[in-house]
Homo-oligomer: A and B are copies of this chain.
Amino acid sequence: MQKKTVKRSGAGASAPAPLQDERPANDGEGGASDQEIYERVITSIMEHRLPPGTKLGEDKLAKIFGVSRARVRQVLARLALERVVVLHPNRGAFVAEPTVEEAREVFEVRRPLEALVVHRIVAKKDPAIIARLRAHVAAEEAARAARDRRAIIRLSGEYHVLLAELSGSTLAARLMHELASLTCLIIFLYDAPTVPACRDQEHAEITQALADGDETTAIRLMAEHLEHVEACLDLSRGRPEELDLEAALAG
A-side residues, CB < 8 A to B, are: 19-21, 23, 74, 77-78, 80-83, 87-89, 102, 105-106, 108-109, 112-113, 115-116, 169-172, 174-175
A80 touches B171 (CB 8 A): no
Q: Which residue of B lies closest to A179 (CB)?
A: B171
Residue from the list B78, B83, B89, B171 in contact with A102, Cβ < 8 A: B171
CB-based closest 4 A-B pairs? A112-B112, A105-B171, A105-B169, A20-B87
Determine the main DSSP class of A at the interface with B.
helix
- Residues of B within 8 Å of A115, CB to CB, are 112
B109 touches A19 (CB 8 A): no
B116 touches A109 (CB 8 A): yes
Residue from the list B89, B106, B113, B172 in contact with A23, Cβ < 8 A: B89
B106 touches A171 (CB 8 A): yes
Q: A112-B112, A112-B113, A115-B112 are contacts. A105–B23 as well, Cβ < 8 Å?
A: no
Residue from the list B20, B88, B175 in contact with A21, Cβ < 8 A: B88
B89 touches A21 (CB 8 A): yes
B87 touches A175 (CB 8 A): no
A73 to chain B, nearest CB (A): 9
Q: A109-B116, A113-B109, A116-B109 are contacts. A81–B171 as well, Cβ < 8 Å?
A: no
Q: A20-B87, A81-B81, A89-B21 are contacts. A170–B74 as well, Cβ < 8 Å?
A: no
- Residues of B within 8 Å of A81, CB to CB, are 19, 78, 81-82
- Residues of B within 8 Å of A175, CB to CB, are 109, 175
Q: Which residue of B lies closest to A22 (CB)?
A: B89
Q: Which residue of B lies closest to A109 (CB)?
A: B171
